[in-house]
Structure 1
């Protein structure tokens, strides 16, 4: 399996890692964020989302059947115990080499089992002068998975959107950073809570934050 990361290890390196992915040109992803369906489970119409799950065979991605996302209320007080269903990722996106590289590198970096299932969430959060965008409406939380990767694709006309990691909800964050396009943070979900601060526009007009969130296990179950 190929390795595509240029990396900088931080404190708690075995528990979370910040990486700059020089081999992936985020421009190739941008068009696929323009047709995301609005997330019907969040009030305000500021978040749009697609979701698919994969395994790998060698260096090839295998897309798994459609399923629904289900988290316990122990992890998601806002939407826990609700079966959430989202449109699948665009087939043309999945066929891109840069997308395959992102998923394979997530697997390799987290040392996942070759048959591990990976969920890929494609998420756009928007904001306007009248409305903030909230990338984490559930607050400081864990996802209830093993590993999480947050990969930044686009930041346009926004301030905020800083990613925080915590060892406990009531403690100060041990990591705080705005993820710029091409940067990714890998997190052990058993060890850290995470949160991303709300976004607002820098100038008049709409602001946009586009990310891929990868998880293993996927937290998806077949319908």
Structure 2
């Protein structure tokens, strides 16, 4: 069990989850400290090309983070696998996927806990769930070989709320994140390269999302490091009530 203290400078987001997305810069989080753990990510075995690396853990927040008098607690849940239906993910839908857990050293970092705290404020506005999934993802690109952060194309995740937090971009071009109100829209409602420290949060049933491929801008390998957070997590049906 981890104690999640309310940051003194925290301001509850004034956002209507039914109306728009939120883009903010989390200056209180040291992205350099978080970035170190991305070098230890295992390869994603469900994609060909050896360009994506990934870990996944699930957490529950107990207590009311909005209350000054009541301390909230962050609890790491037992290991769970990842599942999306074919309707949501045409590429890897109906496949039960298993990823290694986030490293304990990362989970103990204040910046990581701050990120989960921040995301949960939006979950409280838009979801009845107090559980979140945290995907730690590195996409790589080599000279002449692009990496695809979203090989499934323009999609939804099948959750209530999605957050994308940019940790690092190194030696790459591309990787622009788009939000679409309709899957067949010719122009996105939002389009931006997320720079380190920027956090994009949106309601999953309001926006489809996509991130364009990344390419190396030099002969050295390039990398894009992000956390993708979902509320709730995405579990196989038999694990959803665990």
TM over 0.5: yes
1:169, distance to aligned residue in structure 2 (A): 1.4
1:186, distance to aligned residue in structure 2 (A): 0.2
Matched, 1:206 2:193: no
* Unpaired segments ≥5 residues, structure 2: 1-5, 63-70
Whether the 8 Å CA contact 2:173–2:215 is kept in 1: the answer is yes
Q: Secondary structure at the match of 1:107?
A: helix
Which is greater in Rg? 2
Matched, 1:152 2:193: no
Q: Secondary structure at the match of 2:157?
A: coil
Q: Distance in 1 between matches of 2:34 and 2:47?
A: 24
Q: Work out which of the residue numbers 180, 196, 200 in structure 2 matches 1:185.
A: 200
| Structure 1 residue ranges (4+ consecutive) displaced by more than 6 angstroms after TM superposition | 5-9
Whether the 8 Å CA contact 1:128–1:206 is kept in 2: the answer is yes
Stretch deviating more after TM superposition (12-21 or 187-196)? 12-21
Whether the 8 Å CA contact 1:71–1:143 is kept in 2: the answer is yes
Matched, 1:135 2:149: yes
Q: Work out which of the residue numbers 19, 23, 26 in structure 1 matches 2:24.
A: 19
Q: Work out which of the residue numbers 163, 171, 181 in structure 1 matches 2:177.
A: 163
Q: Which residue of 1 aligns with 2:97?
A: 84
Q: In the superposition, relative to structure 1, how do residues 176 and 8 fare at CA in structure 2: closer, same or farther (>3 Å)?
A: farther
Q: Distance in 2 between matches of 1:167 and 1:14?
A: 11
Q: Which residue of 2 aligns with 1:65?
A: 78
Stretch deviating more after TM superposition (138-147 or 51-60)? 51-60
1:12, distance to aligned residue in structure 2 (A): 8.4
Q: Which residue of 2 aligns with 1:39?
A: 44
RMSD, aligned α-carbons: 2.2
Q: Distance in 2 between matches of 1:5 and 1:174?
A: 26
How many residues were matched structurally?
Answer: 222
Whether the 8 Å CA contact 2:18–2:206 is kept in 1: the answer is no
Q: Distance in 2 between matches of 1:168 and 1:210?
A: 27
TM-score, normalised relative to structure 1: 0.93
Whether the 8 Å CA contact 1:5–1:21 is kept in 2: the answer is no
* Unpaired segments ≥5 residues, structure 1: none
1:130, distance to aligned residue in structure 2 (A): 2.4
Q: Which residue of 1 aligns with 2:3?
A: none
Q: In the superposition, relative to structure 1, how do residues 217 and 7 fare at CA in structure 2: closer, same or farther (>3 Å)?
A: closer
Q: Distance in 1 between matches of 2:205 and 2:76?
A: 26
1:96, distance to aligned residue in structure 2 (A): 0.8
Q: In the superposition, relative to structure 1, how do residues 148 and 195 fare at CA in structure 2: closer, same or farther (>3 Å)?
A: same
Q: Work out which of the residue numbers 64, 84, 87 in structure 2 matches 1:74.
A: 87
Whether the 8 Å CA contact 1:148–1:189 is kept in 2: the answer is yes
1:91, distance to aligned residue in structure 2 (A): 0.6
More strand by share: 1
Q: Distance in 2 between matches of 1:4 and 1:24?
A: 12
Matched, 1:29 2:44: no
